[in-house]
Amino acid sequence: MFLTIEKLLDPGEVQRLQALAAGMHFVDGKETNPHTTVKNNQQADQASQASAEASAIVFQAFRRSREFEDFAVPQMIAPPLLTKYGSGQHYGEHIDAGEIVVGQQRIRTDLSCTVFLNDPDSYEGGELESRLGNRTMTYKGQPGDAILYPSTTYHQVKEVTKGERLVAITFIQSRLPDALLREILFELGEVYAYEAETMSWENRNRLEFVQQNLKRLWLR
């Protein structure tokens, strides 16, 4: 299951992240994946103070988003990382690593997330493409929008042919590793959020009984 969150970041946050990126030191994207033959991009120098500030801005946006929390059921979130693609750069089709190391912690990558940070009309190409069976899904979001998708998915960033693509990326370890169980809880939560006020009190209680007790059974 995929989820698009529109306006995860507010305009002020997007503007601040763009300003940080403009003055930030970027390094070769292969620094975090030196053996890849398909990665050709740049990522923020994670040792810099500007990168830490950028990461904190995106992290706080996740924490205030009900959609993000309900969909991902996050246990750990890797520090969001600014990444950019100039003309001729791309990231060929790949599957994200099953786990990543952040400091002394190992994070299992259940979900991947891309947060778009610049106007899609300011660059050509650079679409995020995900392969589902024999179909391809394409994303190129507005500034501040986010897309979450299973880290098990084959995906790629198409070559940027003009301009520059700026995004933040991260990986999430969920308290509920099973994607189907996450989807069931998310759908129940959505039904409760939109329909509970119009239900009889008895049916609302019954729905909440199912929702809360599935959490007790499944969440770790």
pLDDT tens-digit readout, 84-109: 999 999 999 999 999 999 888 999 99
Nearest to 57 by CA among 105, 103, 107, 15: 15
pLDDT tens-digit readout, 4-38: 999 999 999 999 999 999 999 999 998 888 888 99
Average pLDDT, the chain: 94
Nearest to 109 by CA among 173, 48, 47, 181: 173
pLDDT tens-digit readout, 167-198: 999 999 999 999 999 999 999 999 998 988 89
220 pLDDT band (50/70/90 cuts)? Answer: confident
201 pLDDT band (50/70/90 cuts)? Answer: very high
Query: Furthest-apart CA pair in the chain: how many Å?
Result: 59
Contact 32, 56 (CB under 8 A): no
What is the arithmetic mean of pLDDT over 35-43?
A: 92
Contact 128, 159 (CB under 8 A): no
Burial 23-60 (b: 16+ CB within 10 A, else e): ebebeebeeeeeeeeebbbbbbeeebebbeebbebbee
